[in-house]
Structure 1
Amino acid sequence: MSLAPRAVLVHRVSEYEELLARHGTHGQAAFFLSSRGRAIDDVRERDLRARRALAEVAAAVPAPWRQARVERADLDRFLFGPEDVVVVAGQDGLVANAAKYLDGQPVIGIDTDPGRNPGVLVRHRSADAARLLAAAVGRGAAFDELTMVEAATDDGQRLLALNEIYLGCPGHRTARYRLSPGEGGGEAQASSGVLVGTGTGATGWLRSLWQQRGSALPLPGPAEGRLAWFVREAWPSPVTGTSFVEGLLARGERLGVTVESDRLVVFGDGMEADALELTWGQSVRMGVSATSLRLLC
């Protein structure tokens, strides 16, 4: 007998909740914000809108279904199951934060603050939750299969991301490594790090590098099976080069990096707390993942 679907509601602690945790009371939080020229009313109202949206989604879950909630900070410790329907309530970035922990589960993006989010990934409203949940498990549901990027290390570690994967130093020091964009030997580089991103990420950090550099690379679309990569601020010296600073990766191609620093980190979609750590001589290969994000249209 198969398990009933489980609706997993993914959310994030609001700015108001963070202020209360830091300052203790509403009044002290209001005083803190006023001392910096801000009013607490808007912050509190956004918190209430998010709570109302979560409550509306929870109430729409069908009675036979199971239900669970997970906060962004706990995603790396939460075990998603194959029967889950993942409902992300918040901003577009929260969908990306959750995506790396999924393996083909349907995802519904709920915008809890319409007008403030671009709505690229959180496309729906909480009032439509009942219809969306039914559609996610029904026949003929329409999904966008969004390409993801993968990093695999030589010791068997694996990392997924929906927007981009960053490799570099954990601080502001120079990252040293050997970069191999193909099957050749590549070159030793010293830079601020390497960014490998998808078409979904091409609306954010990846685009900012592309734009700043005036690159002629055609950035991929969200569902295209290719990636773009950029080296940030590569530094030429007698022992480091700048021949390979940008490129595209088709499905099956890999960008290889061998570490020549004491410590480098690899993390996806801004989740620095869930990073892979690499040291001298270790290598990592980045490319299009076989896993994609199934986002309900």
Structure 2
Amino acid sequence: MKFERVIIIRDKTRLEQLIERFNSKAQAKFYIESSDGDFEFFEFEHNTFYESLSKVKNSINGILKYKVINRSFLPTYIFTENDLVLVIGQDGLVANTAKYVNGLPIIGINPDIERYDGILLKHSPKDLNSILKNVIKDSYEIKQVTMAKATLNDGQVLLAFNDFYIGADSHVSSRYSIEFNGQKEQQSSSGIIISTGAGSTGWLSSIFNMANNISEYYNSDINDCGTTLDWNDNKLVFVVREPFMSKMSQTNIGYGIITSNKKLKIESNMPTKGIIFSDGVESDFLNFNSGSIVEIGIADEKANLVI
């Protein structure tokens, strides 16, 4: 593959978001400090990010062309097969980017190793020059990550790097029918979580933590429950959160492993406020109201992280 330019994906810093909210840096500073907050923290974080971004640009100069785009433009930006994707920010930005780049290689840069865990951000700005030279020589390794795919009956599609949430968009009961492995039933719950291998140590693990805490309280002899998949496993895990038993709702389908031959099907019974969102980004969503049917399976495309 011949790369012609680097597309740098970034997000606004928290200081930039504060300035947008309060219209000026001075107003933002006044608000934070009047609440006994540490405004210098936001300034230091902001400056550290821009120092790293400057190092990234300097490393790319003389090797490839580059273009910087903001996270908000990801859903509409048209990537080409000659683009090399570079993400600088937090781990969640890598997950959000992977859904839109059609399998292009992604270099994750951690701009602030003192603050960010960097599970998906394996490189620092100082490493970038040598990484780019290796990529151009086609001397680099890729870590593939399986993604989930939600397909609505009207043709809309949404991908997830970590997980999907399917249910109501607020703290009310999610009502739907669920079909899996030859079984079908009506349910009322707090929604459904579908997790990839990459996401299995995140939101999914917190659900298992809750179940294990309850078991421990009652001195259960059952071994701790939990599921951790490899990132490239062609499997997904779903869990129904807090299913409610009633005359109109059942609780028999609560957990399962989705494979290429075993998909999950859900039909909404929510007149309004039904939603499907991915990777914890509530703005990245599909409406899921009465009449909507979604099928959850494994996405054909993989996320390709440069390691």
Q: What TM-score range do you get, normalising by the shorter chain?
A: over 0.9
> Hey, what does 1:129 align to over in structure 2?
128
Moved more, 124-133 or 23-32: 23-32
Counterpart residue identity of residue 195, structure 2: G
Residue 298 of structure 2, aligned match among 288, 292, 295: 288
Tell me, yes or no, if structure 1 residue 228 matches structure 2 residue 227.
Answer: no
Report the alpha carbon displacement of residue 145 of structure 1 after superposing the two structures with TM. 0.2
Q: Secondary structure at the match of 1:203?
A: coil
CA distance in 2 between partners of 1:211 and 1:102 (Å): 33
Report the alpha carbon displacement of residue 37 of structure 1 after superposing the two structures with TM. 2.2
CA distance in 1 between partners of 2:123 and 2:43 (Å): 22
Tell me, yes or no, if structure 1 residue 213 matches structure 2 residue 211.
Answer: yes
Q: Secondary structure at the match of 1:117?
A: coil
Residue 194 of structure 1, aligned match among 192, 210, 215: 192
CA distance in 1 between partners of 2:191 and 2:55 (Å): 42
TM value normalised by structure 1: 0.93
Deviations 1:30-52 (A, max 9, x none): 22112222211121011011111
Report the alpha carbon displacement of residue 118 of structure 1 after superposing the two structures with TM. 1.6
The number of equivalent residue pairs is: 295
> Hey, what does 2:98 align to over in structure 1?
99
Tell me, yes or no, if structure 1 residue 252 matches structure 2 residue 261.
Answer: yes
Q: Secondary structure at the match of 1:120?
A: coil
Residue 248 of structure 2, aligned match among 239, 253, 265: 239
Q: Secondary structure at the match of 1:223?
A: coil
Residue 269 of structure 1, aligned match among 254, 279, 288: 279
TM value normalised by structure 2: 0.90
CA RMSD of aligned residues (A): 1.8
Report the alpha carbon displacement of residue 256 of structure 1 after superposing the two structures with TM. 0.8
CA distance in 1 between partners of 2:277 and 2:99 (Å): 10
Report the alpha carbon displacement of residue 138 of structure 1 after superposing the two structures with TM. 3.1
CA distance in 1 between partners of 2:107 and 2:159 (Å): 19
Deviations 1:206-232 (A, max 9, x none): 111122123624321212221111111
- Is the 1:7–1:87 contact (alpha carbons within 8 Å) kept by the matching residues of 2? yes
Gapped runs of 5+ residues in structure 2?
Answer: 213-223
State percent identity of aligned pairs: 29
- Is the 1:88–1:94 contact (alpha carbons within 8 Å) kept by the matching residues of 2? yes
